[in-house]
Amino acid sequence: MTQVTKAKEGKITNSMELVAKKEGVNPEFIRKGIAEGTIVIPANNNHHNLKPRGFGKGLSTKVNANFGTSEDYPEIDKELKKLKVAVEAGADAVMDLSTGEKITETRRTIMAETEVPLGTVPIYQATVETLNTGKAIIDMTVEDLFRVIEEHAKDGVDFITVHCGLTLETIRHLRDEDRITDIVSRGGSFMTGWMLHNEQENPLYEYYDRLLEIAYKYDVTLSLGDGLRPGCLADATDRSQIHELLILGELVDRAREAEVQVMVEGPGHVPYDQIETNIKLQKELCKGAPFYVLGPLVTDIALGYDHIVSAIGGTMAASAGADFLCYVTPAEHIGLPSVEDVREGVMASKIAAHAADIAKGVSGAKKRDLEMAKARKTLDWQRQIELAIDPKKAKESREAHNQTLKDEETCTMCGSYCAMKVVDKAL
Amino acid sequence: MTQVTKAKEGKITNSMELVAKKEGVNPEFIRKGIAEGTIVIPANNNHHNLKPRGFGKGLSTKVNANFGTSEDYPEIDKELKKLKVAVEAGADAVMDLSTGEKITETRRTIMAETEVPLGTVPIYQATVETLNTGKAIIDMTVEDLFRVIEEHAKDGVDFITVHCGLTLETIRHLRDEDRITDIVSRGGSFMTGWMLHNEQENPLYEYYDRLLEIAYKYDVTLSLGDGLRPGCLADATDRSQIHELLILGELVDRAREAEVQVMVEGPGHVPYDQIETNIKLQKELCKGAPFYVLGPLVTDIALGYDHIVSAIGGTMAASAGADFLCYVTPAEHIGLPSVEDVREGVMASKIAAHAADIAKGVSGAKKRDLEMAKARKTLDWQRQIELAIDPKKAKESREAHNQTLKDEETCTMCGSYCAMKVVDKAL
């Protein structure tokens, strides 16, 4: 049984209560949102140490952090450290994207340590295991894929990215329209390679009912992946991207009928002036399903600064209605993020989510800003540091920038010409 | 004689030619913009080593970097280093905000090294010099202030911030409405203290014609400062801010009549959803005068990350029509920025300006992004680094993140599961 079933029966679950309390809203608001599909609480029945979070309409914007082992960095410890840092920095959910050795062991270790919703992309494991047996991606069987999905569900994964909307018809649009970067989604690329070689429809689309059965059994939230998300500004909002979104809209309907929680993933690289349209289109086509965006990135050229690029796009997206931001680290397009990259990535996305929550009028969002403004006015540095989004960084930076300061109240920016002081005397 | 006089006479100056070439537009477009007041080229007749830049409608969004000595850090060398780094990082203009010892010597040294337009805030020097003679700010005479303004103009300063719109009536609104942070503009605070104590109108408003005469003589561009810009989200778009903007609109008219180049400064701390309104209101009230924004900052709580906060607000502002972004460094609200802070601040603002230029359709803005996308598709790392907004950082980061990589074509993010490679084989 899923939260949807209960919500439709009029029941308020413990998870709904906890989410309502965290968000400062009425539990009935959460129940109604889940019943209607505008809110999800990714909470697998087998994720026992979970502190549930809600994602969707009327709730604060959430942030996800990705990590996971890879062939070049197979160590689990390092990824656990990233998990810790991400959650400390305020990540509301994490995704384990491991493709290194021992994927199952890694996932189970991470699951045991994770109190926030945990997501995965099962096709990564299905692909890597196929390759590890000496075969090619295209040799993966439908059974291989569903076996991994069921394993993830059974292990307690709260949400899974499944690229169900990438059909042969979508690929036809892709080939027709001549993209610059074709496909940049890893899952999308595996699926496309498989489909074209085997001349078969996407099994996640063809056997979607089977996927829904697994999701229903464990209450796994489906995160419908956008395999054809644009990988550069020039490819944004093209026919293949929007065709996939049409299919995702259909699949949202079917998930709701099956009482399975569902959200939709979105772009990607998108020019700033196209972001609002993308969000509103998704909300219409997918009938208000929670929207999980990967960026959006508003320029392709800022190698090393993509956390900033993503914060710019993420604020626009979330203020236009996106509910969930996947972080982007300064290492994006360069390599696997370090622990410090993870921290910086989460912080940038948290800033975007917070700025957007103020813009879209999320209840209570402005409160901390008002407190900070008051602390600034009274030159109360201790309080400013406490209220800062990253108190540790604020404290260190304050100390580093004010070593020569004679007056503890002000700062080296203005010294004794502090506007606050001058005005206080004048008014 | 100013550029405006020449533009109105139908003459295309050498500066107009150079700006047109740099922007990829017709020189006549620049001439017309200057004649109508929608474009300025801050180029003091005495700034001999200047490479002129244009600011305004139809041109790329520009970025300013502030620096300058202070009582705690009086060394000129350090500030020269910041100037160098800012311009290398792409700053289109710089402002010398020195308040340390030897302000005149500092300005002249910086002027000799500066090929981009240089701005100052003369009231800083007038105030500091008054204080240095043992008197209080309120003892500054009107003559003291105008003597410093004339000195800056004569020295070749290209644009000066003058808080002319802060009148006794504006202060009445401020006192009526009960702000949280009152006045956060240093110039605004000096002026307010002086006006209230002396029970006199703002001399920059009262003797505005005298200011126009000086500006005309050297072709100094007036940057009409917003002394009452909001210092926190709660104070944004209030009556005192907008009252000052009304006065600035009147002063734009008078500057245009006097054939003096003029731009208008704007907020400040502004919630994301109020930025577009602020920009459109300024453009209407000030009849299309170029708009120079200080941020805007979309949250008050991100101490240590205000360059990101400002990039978020700056992109929105510039895409809505702002022409010129004042950078904000990670040290904002903490202390005087270091050289590294200056770099990070300029980069964040350059990203915002670039993303906005793409959004507002500035000619050629997308070109480099398209080249980057192509380099990404072919896994041409050398070319990606060349095209990056910060090639040095891109190169260092690529090296740091890929030490264990076996395959030089890909990166540690996906290793051999690179979507680009998989898809290339498939399609």
- pLDDT of B408 reads 75
Q: What is the pLDDT of residues A133-168, one digit of tens each?
A: 999 888 999 999 999 999 999 999 999 999 999 999
Please tell me whether residues A354 and A392 are part of one structural domain.
no
Please tell me whether residues A415 and A282 are part of one structural domain.
no
CB contact under 8 A, A425 and B72: no
* B136 contacts chain A (CB < 8 A): no
* B330 contacts chain A (CB < 8 A): yes
Residue matched to tokens 């059909």: A167
* A5 contacts chain B (CB < 8 A): no
- pLDDT of B84 reads 97
pLDDT band at A412 (very low <50, low <70, confident <90, very high): confident
Give me the residues paired with residue B263 across strands: B223
pLDDT band at A72 (very low <50, low <70, confident <90, very high): confident
Please tell me whether residues B336 and B413 are part of one structural domain.
no
- pLDDT of A421 reads 84
Please tell me whether residues A298 and A409 are part of one structural domain.
no
User: Taking chain B (427 residues) in consecutive chunks of 10 residues, what is each chunk's mean pLDDT?
Assistant: 96 98 97 98 97 98 96 91 97 96 94 97 95 90 97 98 97 92 94 94 98 98 97 97 98 98 98 98 98 97 98 98 98 95 98 98 95 96 96 94 78 82 82
**CATH number of the domain bearing residue A200:** 3.20.20.540
- pLDDT of B329 reads 98
- pLDDT of B323 reads 98
Residue A320 and residue A274 in contact, taking contact as beta carbons nearer than 8 Å: no
CB contact under 8 A, A186 and B366: no
Please tell me whether residues B319 and B381 are part of one structural domain.
no
Contacts of B233 in chain A (CB under 8 A): 358, 366, 369-370, 373
Please tell me whether residues B138 and B238 are part of one structural domain.
yes
Contacts of A128 in chain B (CB under 8 A): 417
Give me the residues paired with residue A159 across strands: A119, A221
- pLDDT of B218 reads 98
Helix (H, G, I), strand (E, B) or coil at A191: helix
Reported as type and span, the H/E element at residue A375 is helix A367-377
Please tell me whether residues A251 and A181 are part of one structural domain.
yes
Contacts of B235 in chain A (CB under 8 A): 373
Residue A238 and residue A198 in contact, taking contact as beta carbons nearer than 8 Å: no
CB contact under 8 A, B319 and A272: yes
Search chain A and give the residue with CA nearest B318: A272
Residue A96 and residue A78 in contact, taking contact as beta carbons nearer than 8 Å: no
Residue ranges of A 184-203 with Cβ closer than 8 A to chain B: 184-186, 188-190, 192-193, 196-197
Among A194, A423, A425, most B C-beta atoms within 10 A, so best to mutate, is A423
Please tell me whether residues B276 and B389 are part of one structural domain.
no
pTM: 0.97
- A233 is written with which tokens? 């500004």
CB contact under 8 A, B319 and A71: no
Where does a domain end: B305, B333, B360?
B360
Tally of structural domains, chain B: 2
- B275 is written with which tokens? 């930025």
Check whether B266 is labelled as a binding-site residue: no
- Which amino acid, residue B160? I
Please tell me whether residues B352 and B415 are part of one structural domain.
no
Q: What is the pLDDT of residues A245-261, one digit of tens each?
A: 999 999 999 999 999 99
Please tell me whether residues A138 and A235 are part of one structural domain.
yes
Percent of chain A topping pLDDT 90: 90
Among B194, B332, B372, most A C-beta atoms within 10 A, so best to mutate, is B372
- pLDDT of B341 reads 97
Helix (H, G, I), strand (E, B) or coil at B39: strand
Count of C-beta atoms within a 10 Å radius of residue B80? 17
CB contact under 8 A, A420 and B232: no
Please tell me whether residues A191 and A86 are part of one structural domain.
yes
- Which amino acid, residue A43? A
Residue A315 and residue B358 in contact, taking contact as beta carbons nearer than 8 Å: no
Cα(A279)–Cα(A288) distance, integer angstroms: 10
Mean pLDDT of chain A: 95
Cα(A106)–Cα(A99) distance, integer angstroms: 10
pLDDT band at A410 (very low <50, low <70, confident <90, very high): confident
* B245 contacts chain A (CB < 8 A): no
pLDDT band at A416 (very low <50, low <70, confident <90, very high): confident
- pLDDT of A197 reads 92
Give the nearest partner residue to B423 out of A128, A189, A397, using CB atoms. Answer: A189
Where does a domain end: B329, B360, B391?
B360
Mean pLDDT of chain B: 95
> Is it the case that residue A291 has pLDDT exceeding 80?
yes
- pLDDT of B46 reads 97
Please tell me whether residues A308 and A412 are part of one structural domain.
no
- pLDDT of A405 reads 73
Which range of residues forms the domain containing residue A341?
3-360
Where does a domain end: B360, B379, B398?
B360
Nearest Cα neighbor of B33 from B287, B224, B356, B218 is: B287
- Nearest-CA distance B388 → chain A (Å): 5
Residue ranges of B 81-120 with Cβ closer than 8 A to chain A: 99
Residue ranges of B 156-185 with Cβ closer than 8 A to chain A: 175, 180-185
